[in-house]
Structures are given as structure tokens and as C-alpha cells.
Amino acid sequence: MSNVEADPAELVCGDRPAAARTVTVLTPRDVPLGGPRAIRVRRTLPQRQRSLIGAWCFADHYGPEDVTATGGMDVAPHPHTGLQTASWLFSGEIEHRDSLGTHALVRPGELNLMTGGHGIAHSEVSTPDTTTLHGVQLWIALPDEHRHTARDFRHHAPPVVELPGAAVRVFLGSLAGSTSPVPAFTPLLGAELTLDPGARVVLDVDPAFEHGVLQDLGGVTVAGTKLGNGDLAYLAPGAAELELVNDGSGPARVLLLGGTPFAEEIVMWWNFVGRSHEEIAAYREAWQAESEQFGRVEGYRGAVSRLPAPELPHARIKARRNPPAPA
């Protein structure tokens, strides 16, 4: 998915010191995707309070969206560098095309992971049969030694792991005895959990990881803190267990994201992840010039052939770091 804001935020993200596992609730902001009939997404990463959780550097949560009213998703070819995109749906279906030559469908409960590396372009369009669109788009920052890696695309349909009171799908990393075969460039965790009504679930987690719990369905209490719809709970490294409680009368669903704190500074602007203002400016210039750095997306039939990059800010892109992890 593209960040189609006309004036995208600029930020540099750095490392954070470890701290006790206190819950910080990150509330989302609404962002439109596309033109006047665009769907709206709830963005929880990046924001002022926190820019990364592990290497997870971007999180858009959208739906349930009635596509008969909005027209659905139609994001024209756009570029990425220095990151991976992880697409995860709860309902609906999205057609993915990229400059690697991939033509794939994103379906509920299946991971589509695209590696931008040195440069890639892709498009995303909800399919004609989709009536309700509901899902999450996530970005993963690549470490310096791998950020110029070749384009790649992986698909994985994780099995459902049944726990007392919950069902788990692990799409990256390991949790509850399930390990995803999809390789990652830094230690990561990505999983969907659906909790039964009234369930209390205690998960064994890596104490070296910081974690984020994104509330999607119902209401969940994370380590004693109640979340609202679209909230993202941040937990610093330090504990080997994570408690989730669904005190509602219906099922509840969350995404659990985790990873070791990302120790490198990164600069994010529009759809690019780099290391400096000059690098971001060069990526933008290459995209505007239709450079082969990003390749071509074949088969897209939208109103425009590609998304133009926004203008760079008039000032030099400045550092924006996470605050110290809460004590």
C-alpha cells in the first residue's frame, strides 16, 4: 500500500533503551487513501509517541469498509525502497501486481510479503467480488546491510494453532509453538489472535522483544490496560509473558507485532525508507524520471498509470526520534 498523503511526514527513527514492560496506548489518526472516494485508514505507526516497534515502522488498519459505497481500494503503481510490505486481510480480496512480475491475490489469513530493497513498484486493487474490505498494511524497515537487497515476494498461509481460549495464526517469527517459514532480516514476530468471549490468555514471548498489540475486533485488555478499536498497545522489552483478556460477550481479535529494538536511524518519507535527506531526494528523483531502479508494473488498468511523488519539504528532512521507552 502507498502512503498517498500530499504532505507526508518526515522522520528519522533511532534506537531506544530497554525498560520495564509498561503499556503505552498509541491512538490512531484517520488518513485517506487516494481520491475523493478513497477509503480511510487508521494509522498508528509512525507517530510522535513512537516510530517503530522492532523493525515494524508503519501500520495502517482499515475497515470493515463497504466497497459498494466507497469504490474499494485502487492504489496505482508506486515505489518502495529499504523496506518490506506485509499485507494481512480479515475480509475481502486485493489484487497485487509488482515490478518483479508477481500477480497475486491477498486473501484473509494469508501473508503477502514484498521486499522493496533497492527499489520496487507495485499496485493494489480490491477485486470485483469484494463487498467488505478489512485488513492491515504493515511496513518493515530493512537493516543497513540488507536494505539494498534484490526485489522479492513471498506468500504464506499460516496454520491455525488452537490454544485454550484463543486461535493463533503466526505469519512471521515464532509464537505458541508455531514458526513461520518466511525469512526475516531482523528478529520479528507477526501473529493474528482471536480470543473467545471471557478468555484470559497468557503467552510466552521473547523478553528481548518489544511488542505492539493492535486492537481490531471486540475489546481486549493488554497487561491490565483496556484498548479501544484501532488502538495499538506498546510494551517495552523485559517480560517473558504477555497477558491478553477478552472480557466481552463476543470474540475479540488483535494483531501481535514484535521484534528486537531497531538500533539504526532511518529516514522515512512518502514510500521510501533511507538513511539521509539526500538519499530520499535521490529516490524521489529516480521515481519521477521513471528509472529502472523501480521497474515496471504490468497489467494495472487504473485511471492513472503511476502515482507521482509529492514535492519534497522546503526544509531539510530533520531527525525525529522515539522518546525513551517508558519506565
pLDDT at 3: 64
What is the spatial distance between Cα 111 and Cα 158, in angstroms, rounded to a whole number? 8
Distances (CA, A) of 241 to 142, 148, 174: 27, 35, 14
Q: H or E element: which one contains 42?
A: strand 39-45
Question: Looking at the domain that runs over 13-259, which CATH code has it been given?
Answer: 2.60.120.10
pLDDT of residue 276: 94
- H or E element that contains 300: none
Q: Decide which of 102 and 325 is more confident.
A: 102
* β-bridge pairing 111-115 and 103-106: unpaired
Query: What average pLDDT does the segment 220-229 reach?
Result: 95
Three-point CA angle 67, 160, 254, nearest 5°: 55
Weakest-pLDDT range from 44-53, 119-128, 253-262: 44-53
Give 118-148 pLDDT, tens digit per residue: 999 999 999 999 999 999 999 999 999 999 9
Residue 2 predicted with pLDDT over 70: no
- 62 neighbors 37 (Cβ within 8 angstroms): no
* pLDDT for res 327: 55
Residue 77 has pLDDT above 80, yes or no: yes
- Average model confidence (pLDDT) for the chain? 91
Burial (0-12, 13-18, 19+ Cβ within 10 Å), 183: exposed
- Report d(CA 161, CA 166) in Å as an integer: 8
In the structure grid, which three cell numbers stand for residue 125, read together?
486493487
- The pLDDT value recorded for residue 20 is 38
The larger pLDDT score, comparing residue 9 to residue 244, is at 244
* SS3 at position 288: helix
Provide the residue type at 173 as one letter.
G
Q: Is the pLDDT of residue 299 over 80?
A: yes
Each residue's pLDDT tens digit, 175-207: 999 999 999 999 999 999 999 999 999 999 999
Pairwise CA distance, residues 295 & 293, whole Å: 6
Backbone angles phi, psi at 70, to 5 degrees: -105, -15
